[in-house]
Amino acid sequence: MMLTSEGHLTSHPAVRDLGEGLKLSSVFQEGIVSPNDLDLVMSDGLGLRYAFIGPLETMHLNAEGIVSYCDRYSDGMKRVLKTFGPVPEFSGATAEKVNQDMCMKVPDDPEHLAARRQWRDDCLKRLAKLKQKEQPQ
């Protein structure tokens, strides 16, 4: 993988997702959606798909190739992208609200964090084995 000016290629999608998640502070504060809901959208939605194929292959398969996908959906994607606005602050009320919800799921003391990290790592190992087994020949 190539290095970029601001870190590894693999960190850019993660930072994008984190930033967009924190931009949702108004919907968190208004109770429209919770931080847990956002995590579920990613872990039980896109995350499952992206465990096996990336966003470009997803686009490719959701139409008759990338060009077809772009022809169909580029106007809508551009409208959504225009709503992204400025870079969010990674502090203050938004960070506190997200932290509060996440601590309900996993308390932020070292013992609970270590146990959840171990669970995550074990899941990723099992998923990697499954992916290896399920790769097309």
- Predicted pLDDT at 32: 83
* 1 found inside a domain: no
* 133 found inside a domain: no
- Predicted pLDDT at 42: 82
Under-50 pLDDT residues of the chain: none
User: What residue spans of the chain are helical by DSSP H?
Assistant: 11-23, 25-29, 35-41, 47-50, 55-61, 66-82, 92-105, 110-134
* 3 found inside a domain: no
Classify 7 as helix, strand or coil.
strand
* 81 found inside a domain: yes
CATH code: domain of residue 45: 1.10.1040.10
* 126 found inside a domain: no
- Predicted pLDDT at 3: 53
The number of domains in the chain is: 1
CB 62 within 8 A of CB 69: yes
- Predicted pLDDT at 118: 93
Region class of 92: left (phi > 0), else alpha (psi between -120 and 50), else beta = left
Rounded Cα distance between 28 and 24, Å, is: 6
- Predicted pLDDT at 94: 75
pTM: 0.65
Rounded Cα distance between 128 and 115, Å, is: 20
* 56 found inside a domain: yes
* 28 found inside a domain: yes
Residue 84: domain span: 11-105
* 35 found inside a domain: yes
Region class of 22: left (phi > 0), else alpha (psi between -120 and 50), else beta = alpha
